[in-house]
Chain A
Amino acid sequence: MVMTSNLKGNLESKFSLRFFSGQQFSEIAFPLTAKRSTNNPQVTLGTDKDNWQHVSFSDHDDKFSQEQDNVYYLEAPLEKIKEICCYIQELGCPLVLMFANDERSFQAGYAVYYVFAVREEGMLLVIKTKADPETMEIPSISNHVHAASGYEREIQDLFGIVPVGHPDAKRLVFHGNWPQGAYPLRKDFALGQKPDFAREKIRFQEVAGEGVYEIPVGPVHAGIIEPGHFRFSVAGEPIINLEAQLYYVHKGIEKLAEGQSMEKCLFIAERISGDETFANSLAYCQAIEEISETKIPPRAAYTRVLFAELERLTSHLGDLGGICLDAGYGFANFQFQMMRGWAYSVADELCGMRFLRSVNKLGGVRKDFVSGKEAKLIELLLNIRSELEDTVTIIKSNSMFIDRVENTGILETKIAADLNAVGPGGRASGIRYDVRKAFPYAAYPNLEFKVPEHNNGDINCRMNTKIEESFEAINLMIQAIEGMPVGKVCEPITEVKPYRFAFGLTEAPRGENIHWVMTGEHNTLYRYKIRTPSFCNWPALCHAVKGNIVPDFPLINKSFNLSYAGNDL
Chain B
Amino acid sequence: MFNTLKKIIKYPRLTQDYPNRSLTPASFLGQTEIDTAKCNFCGDCASHCPSHAIGLDKSARSIGIDYAKCIFCILCEEICPVGAVQTTNKFELAVRDKVTLNSHALCTNALSDTPLSNKNNDESINKTAIIKEDNLANTSYETICSDLQVTIKRIFGRSLQIREVDAGSCNGCDYEINALNNPFNDLERLGISFVASPRHADMLLVTGTGTRNMQQALVKTYEATPDPKLVVAVGACACSGGIFRDTYATNNGIDSLVPVDVYIPGCPPRPQAIIYGILKAIDRVK
Contact = CB atoms under 8 A, between A and B. Distances in A.
Nearest to A261: B48
Contacts of A2: none
Given A275-B171, A338-B14, A390-B7, A248 B246 contact: no
A454 interface: no
Interface string B199-210: 000000000110
B116 to A, nearest CB: 27
A272 B212 contact: no
Interface string B170-183: 11111111110111
Nearest to B77: A358
Contact of A565 (B29, B170, B196): B170
Given A222-B197, A277-B172, A341 B184 contact: yes
Nearest to B8: A331
Which of B4, B177, B209 is packed against the most chain A CB atoms within 10 Å?
A: B4
B170 to A, nearest CB: 4
Contacts of A105: none
B246 A251 contact: no
A344 B172 CA distance: 13
A242 B11 CA distance: 41
A338 B11 contact: yes
B3 A390 contact: yes
Interface stretch (A36-44, A184-192, A465-473, A521-529): A184-192
B113 interface: no
A255 B247 contact: yes
A208 to B, nearest CB: 28
A204 interface: no
Contacts of A351: 29
Given A191-B247, A226-B169, A251 B29 contact: no
A314 to B, nearest CB: 9
B131 interface: no
Given A193-B248, A220-B198, A338-B14, A355 B172 contact: yes
Contacts of B244: 251-253, 256, 271
B43 interface: no
A349 B183 CA distance: 20
Given A355-B268, A366-B78, A394-B7, A252 B250 contact: yes
Which of A184, A191, A226 is packed against the most chain B CB atoms within 10 Å?
A: A226
Interface stretch (B67-75, B92-100, B135-143, B276-284): B67-75
Interface of A is mostly: loop
A191 B184 CA distance: 42
Contacts of B212: 177-178, 194, 250
A514 to B, nearest CB: 19
Contacts of B171: 226, 273-275, 563-566
Given A267-B243, A353-B28, A357-B73, A177 B213 contact: yes
Given A220-B198, A250-B213, A274 B268 contact: yes
A352 B29 contact: yes
B14 to A, nearest CB: 6
A538 interface: no
B73 A226 contact: no
B104 interface: no
A247 interface: yes
Nearest to B178: A224
Nearest to B71: A267
Contact of B166 (A225, A264, A340, A393): A225
A247 B249 CA distance: 11
A114 to B, nearest CB: 26
B157 interface: no
Nearest to B215: A177
Contacts of A318: 175
B258 to A, nearest CB: 13
Nearest to A222: B196
A223 B27 CA distance: 32
A358 B3 contact: no
B247 A252 contact: yes
Interface in B257-280: 267-268, 270
A19 B278 CA distance: 65
Which of B27, B28, B197 is packed against the most chain A CB atoms within 10 Å?
A: B28
Interface of A: 174-175, 177-178, 184, 189, 191-195, 219-220, 222-227, 247-253, 255-256, 263-264, 267-268, 271-275, 277, 318, 331, 334-335, 337-338, 340-341, 344, 348-349, 351-355, 357-358, 366, 390-391, 393-394, 563-566
14 contacts: A220-B198, A220-B217, A224-B181, A227-B167, A249-B168, A251-B244, A264-B48, A271-B243, A275-B172, A331-B7, A358-B73, A391-B7, A394-B7, A564-B171
The 6 closest A-B pairs by CB, nearest first: A274-B172, A222-B196, A252-B247, A352-B29, A252-B249, A274-B171
Interface of B: 3-4, 7-8, 11, 14, 26-29, 48, 50-51, 71-75, 78, 163-179, 181-184, 194, 196-198, 208-209, 211-217, 221, 242-244, 246-250, 267-268, 270
